[in-house]
Amino acid sequence: MAVMAMRRRLRGVVLVLALLLTATAVVPVLLLGVAEDDAGGKVAAAAPFNASRVTAISWRPRIFLYRGFLSDDECDHLVNLGKKKIQRSMVADSKSGASVMSEVRTSSGMFLDKRQDPVVSRIEKRIAAWTFLPEENAENIQILRYEHGQKYEPHFDYFQDKINQAIGGHRYATVLMYLSTVEKGGETVFPNAEGWESQPKDDTFSECARRGLAVKPVKGDAVLFFSLHVDGVPDQLSLHGSCPVIQGEKWSAPKWIRIRSYENPPLSKPKETKGCSDVSAHCAKWAEAGECERNPVYMVGAEGSTPGNCRKSCGVCDS
């Protein structure tokens, strides 16, 4: 009898533990329900993470497609944030006397702030949950607009130079979110993907998309691909481009994820740098205002990059 009672009690404990675990897993999901945007409006969230919406469309390179990663509301929200920034840069340009039209043409992209509002925040969390890669390794979400005829020639997301790797190292993975459905063209194309020739393509694909493994931009879908092999060596098969938009307008939002922390890069050690001085006369004032902590790469310097400008005032010198 005593053994039975103990077993029952044990089962009770297990049940409580299981409930607790479920509850902690459910809470973030509930929090993801509806978030206030800047204007206080409600932006409906996408359905919680659902693995059966993810398809591996290539293993060489590693490319995955997630259908319905963002809700329509979330896409519209990001597009609106992008539009606001375009308008802001137009104002700034007219103040500096630069031609407004030519600036608009060149400023096809803009970066959001990290966690700039609850909607952006939950999307960044969802990206981390999908990729199993820490939020702090990710760069800020970029919003891109491609109008008729605009394209990106095939390129790699990993860097060819050392300077860009100073903070956070190589770009390891890219999550490319589609914020609009493009009527024709605008596909993401991977010309080096193994076996791309056997991808079935009807005549809704553009000419450009016929030269590689192609993904059509569908509002809310997201593509995840890796620019490095699992051993950290750049994957040349990850070459990709954006086909010219033929009909409609393409809005997309790439998120690049580094191999190390992008938000908190390890700071350079004092002995790695020659001398110890302030480059600017404002250093002491900036340090007092907390810039050493807020802006460490500029003030102190990151590992492997040039030394920071205010190492003396930030008190990172040996003596």
Ligand X SMILES: *[C@@H]1O[C@H](CO)[C@@H](O)[C@H](O)[C@H]1NC(C)=O
Region binding ligand X by CB under 6 A among candidate stretches 46-54, 69-77, 177-185, 212-220: 46-54
CB within 8 Å of 87: residues ≥ 6 apart: none
Distance CA 140, CA 175 (A): 12
147: left (phi over 0), alpha (psi -120 to 50) or beta: beta
30 binds ligand X (CB under 6 A): no
For tokens 């192609």, what's the residue?
Answer: 214
Name the segment binding ligand X (CB under 6 A); options: 1-9, 48-56, 214-222, 228-236: 48-56
CB of 68 to ligand X, least distance (A): 7
CB 303 within 8 A of CB 267: yes
Calpha distance 230→172 (Å, rounded): 9
Distances 72 to 45, 75, 178 between C-alpha atoms, Å: 9, 5, 10
For residue 318, the minimal CB distance to ligand X (Å) is 57
Q: For ligand X, which is the closer residue by CB, 24 or 52? A: 52
Question: Pattern of binders to ligand X over 166-205, x per CB under 6 A?
Answer: ----------------------------------------
3-state helix, strand, coil in the chain (%, to 5): 35, 25, 40
- The CA distance from 147 to 275, in Å, is 50
* Comparison of 73 and 157: residue with beta carbon closer to ligand X: 73
The minimum distance between CB 20 and ligand X, in angstroms, equals 22
Give the residue ranges of DSSP H helices in the chain: 2-31, 72-96, 100-106, 118-131, 283-288, 291-294, 296-299
> Which residue among 50, 55, 99, 264 contacts ligand X (CB under 6 A)?
50
Instruction: Please report how close the Cβ of residue 235 comes to ligand X at its closest, in angstroms.
Output: 29
* Closer CB to ligand X, 7 or 67, in the complex: 67
* CB nearer to ligand X: pick between 49 and 159: 49
> Does residue 52 bind ligand X (CB under 6 A)?
yes
Using Cβ positions, the residue closest to ligand X within the complex turns out to be: 50
Q: Which amino acid is at 226?
A: F
- Residue 53 touches ligand X, criterion: CB under 6 A: yes
Residue 227: closest CA among 34, 63, 16: 63
Tokens found for residue 25:
């897993």
Q: Which two tokens stand for residue 92?
A: 């700034």
Rounded least distance, CB 55 to ligand X, Å: 10
Considering the complex, state which of residue 48 and residue 270 has its C-beta at the smaller distance from ligand X: 48
* Nearest CB to ligand X, comparing residues 51 and 281: 51
DSSP designation for 53 = G
Minimum Å distance from CB 153 to ligand X? 34
Which listed range, 8-16, 50-58, 100-108, 195-203, lies at the site for ligand X (CB under 6 A)? 50-58
Is the Cβ of residue 55 or residue 236 nearer to ligand X in the bound state?
Answer: 55
Other Cβ atoms less than 10 A from the Cβ of 203: the count is: 5
With contacts defined by CB under 6 A, how many residues of the chain interact with ligand X?
A: 4
**Cβ(209)–Cβ(174) below 8 Å:** no
Closest CB 52 distance from ligand X, rounded Å: 4
User: Which residue among 20, 26, 29, 47 contacts ligand X (CB under 6 A)?
Assistant: 47
Closer Cβ to ligand X, 68 or 134, answer by number: 68
- Rounded Cα–Cα distance for residues 193 and 20 (Å): 44
Binding residues (CB under 6 A) for ligand X: these are 47, 50, 52-53
